[in-house]
Amino acid sequence: MTGARDDHGPFLAAVKPLVDAMGGEMVAPDEAGTDDVVLAWRGEDVVAVRLPQLADSLDHILLALERKRGVPLSELDRKAKQEVVRILEARGAFAVRHGVETVAGALGVSRFTVYNYLNRST
């Protein structure tokens, strides 16, 4: 985001990892749309956060899990894939349209397998 005041730098630096983790985008407050969240610091609007669509968030979460594990999710063993499915379920991944299909593709398994993993975690 350009044009931010220098004294807002620490606030923006603190917020950026969270925005990045969500797959969001930081924009100037005067560019905020109706669905953006404007963040204030010391009584002044500093940045607007543009949140991603749910489907984009799922892709972002999958990439973050892959980076964290250091290997493609499809290369994980069965137990690790089950753990990933539990994490994704807790984060609401399967409430997203085509969530099961998206996760199955990332894990390199069938939809049926993902449903089995979900049933085992309950």
For the whole model, what pTM was predicted? 0.62
Q: Confidence class of residue 8 from pLDDT cuts 50, 70 and 90?
A: confident
What is the model's pLDDT at position 52?
Answer: 77
Q: Confidence class of residue 58 from pLDDT cuts 50, 70 and 90?
A: confident
Type of residue numbered 43: G
Give the dihedral sign, CA 7/9/10/16: positive
Q: Confidence class of residue 122 from pLDDT cuts 50, 70 and 90?
A: low
**Residue 33, Cβ density class (10 Å: 0-12 exposed, 13-18 middle, ≥19 buried):** exposed
What is the model's pLDDT at position 36?
Answer: 92
Distance, in Å, from the CA atom of 66 to the CA atom of 63, rounded to the nearest integer, reads 5
Direct distance between the N- and C-terminal alpha carbons of the chain, in angstroms, rounded to an integer: 43
Distance, in Å, from the CA atom of 85 to the CA atom of 98, rounded to the nearest integer, reads 14
What is the model's pLDDT at position 65?
Answer: 93
